[in-house]
A and B are shown apart, each in its own frame.
Chain A
Amino acid sequence: MRPLDRRALGRALSRIANASVAESLAGMQGTSPNAYRIGMTGPPGAGKSTLIGRFARRRLDGGAQVAVVAIDPSSPLTHGAILGDRIRMDHIADNLRLFIRSLASRGANDGLADNIADVLATLDSYPFDEVILETVGVGQAEHAVRSLVDTLVLVLIPESGDQIQAMKAGMLEMADVYVINKADLPGADKIAREIRAVLKLKQRVGASWAPPVIMTGAADANGIAALDEAVSRHQAYLRNSTNTEEVQRRRLEYHLKSLMIRSVAEILARETNSTAESLHAAYARVVESLRKGIGR
């Protein structure tokens, strides 16, 4: 396997993450999907980072070269962020086949980070077998991460009970694998039962993948092994059945959408920062150009 030039990769990712829309477009180089992407999402405090640390260890032990991209929220007030996910992965951080990158969500409000599509595309030009994307998500966020990954794992905990109610509609049709983490806490069996019941209702006739519900806990090695096995099984399932065009379409659509949202943010920042004219004048001008239609 080609050894990683970590300094070059680290710098490339910073460039991409800080790029304006114009810079992103200039740097776009049709990389083809390379690494198998696994998304891990779930509410804050579900234990995602710790779980990813243990999961990634198994993938590394299997010989894979693995990148983890961990996204933490930015403060909308100060733009600052504490990126602390990798601290839960210390026990594997000495493995040179592992690369961890922490990202702040910045302007993105879909649980991902501003330039995440470009970041993932950049990783595709490096020799990774698998990329694990960690993001906080409840509800809407899963749609976004869904379009960017091959296998989506939703991590819940026994206390997530109330959230399940809210998520039944959107979220439980999104993931490929469900994890009840901290399964030694009371209520774990109940929530697993509820999820299985909802999944059964939602299972489409003729669908060939039935999402498994896996129980994991800090003191339980079997759970992690089961998760590892379930993800591999889904990977094999995709290899045989995926409509790659559909996957590509979803990713391109997400990329386009995020480029547009970033463009709007850039225009907004530029217009509202202009000191040459009053805010009212800027407002009127932007409204006028919206009337004329954008994107034509």
Chain B
Amino acid sequence: MLSSLHDAFWLLLAPKVMAVILLSAAYGIAVGAIPGLTATMAVALIIPITFHLDPISAIAAIVTLEACAIFAGDIPCALVRIPGTPSSAAYTDDAYTLSRRGLLRRTLGVSLVFSVAGGLFGTAVLILGARQLARVAFAFTTYEYFWLYVFGLSCAAIVSHGSRVKGALSLVIGLLLSTIGLSEVHSTPRFTLGNDDLITGVSFIPAMIGLFGFSEVLRNVLSMARGDTDPAVNSAKDIPIGGSPSPLRATIGDRDPTTDTRFGGVFARLWSRKLAFLRSSGIGTIIGMIPGAGADIAAWISYAVSKRLSKTPEEYGKGSLEGMADATAANNASLAGAWIPALVFGIPGDSVTAIVLGVLMMKNITPGPQIFDNPKQATLVSAIYLTFIVANLILIPLGALAIHAGTLLIRTPRRLLVPLILLFCIVGSFAINGSYFDVGVMLLTGLLGFALERWNVPLGPIVLGIVLGGEVEKSFIQNLTKSDSLVAFFERPVAAGLGAACLALWLLPPLLALRRLRRHAGTP
């Protein structure tokens, strides 16, 4: 292990490999920050090139690209309220509200440091425990998946700001949207009205851009025409809204002596939240390890746990720095987690590792338990480990640069910025599949989001509903096809545990509230 680490270290230090890493990092940040382009897409775009690179450079490029793109997804989240990836949807409102309060630099600084730390944590687990932990993947059959998906969805519905009923309503809307199109399980078109486009269904990226980005454009043009602040438009009332006589300049935070704008303060924050950080990264890594469950579920579950244990749960969804920090640590930690089943068993943990498996095979490297024993492959595995560390470290300076660029963008007057956001909504939703139908989806979900926000219905659960709707239905039907009785849902120990957790999530809080109410009634 040590000698292979030593070899890998020198391989990685080659100028060509370092150049590849640097370029991929810059590319990853750019792609992640552009709404509508995902980490998976960025990786897919460079696969044809990786065929002509040596294995170390190829893997280094992919690892760096992914880590940087997932972090960069938080930038448009805070700047223009369009989550770069569905895993950022959990804390979009927090990040955006904070940046509107003038805390953009601090928000993204926290996001950067927690992303990097989460990524490093995941890497540490990958290095130390890959062989032992990879078995987790085999504990998951369709029953466990069903409960895991339900658990993730429940977390999204319950922790969103606003009432529990509204969270559930939002979730159900998202799930219903996911049933439009060809049912994957039955090969039956649903709600398609005989239309070839509708058979495709609603994909989550245009929906996400519409729900968050386009609805925000609508809110802004509405309030700008009104020329005054509108309390119903934004739930955080202390936020200055564009359209007031002077255009919004989010510079307050940078000048305010009470806020720490330099990253030094952020590192102190990381230290003060070390336990919460370990918890969140642990959740992220474990969920990342489970094939088919990725950064999005990890972020939501981590956010939910964070809220439950927080001293200030009322801030969540309205600009909670700690909630965002915990969720962003989890989604970056899950990336390394996804490599565990991929390396040890050749089972991809997510779409990016699926691509990586192809690249590995291209280089005549077969993932599997033997990958650690063969000396030549062991060097490559060590190189992968080191790349993860380097990729996360290089993210610090490059991420800081990107944040700086972001602060410049937010200083542009709102009346100039809003039309640009609109343009990005259109381009982003078109670019992902080159489809006009997706632009239509963006428009309609944008109007839907605009309407729902006026009723204080949270939007995050809709996104997760669209992302996981197909999966939850599939596993539900798979389970019912396998066995007639509902008891089977609880027969395996992991499934029973997850199922019980789901039930507790929905039933416990009302019961506790009831008890509290009774106690209050007892002592007036």
Whether A and B are associated in the same complex: the answer reads no
**Chain A residues close to B by CB (< 8 Å):** none
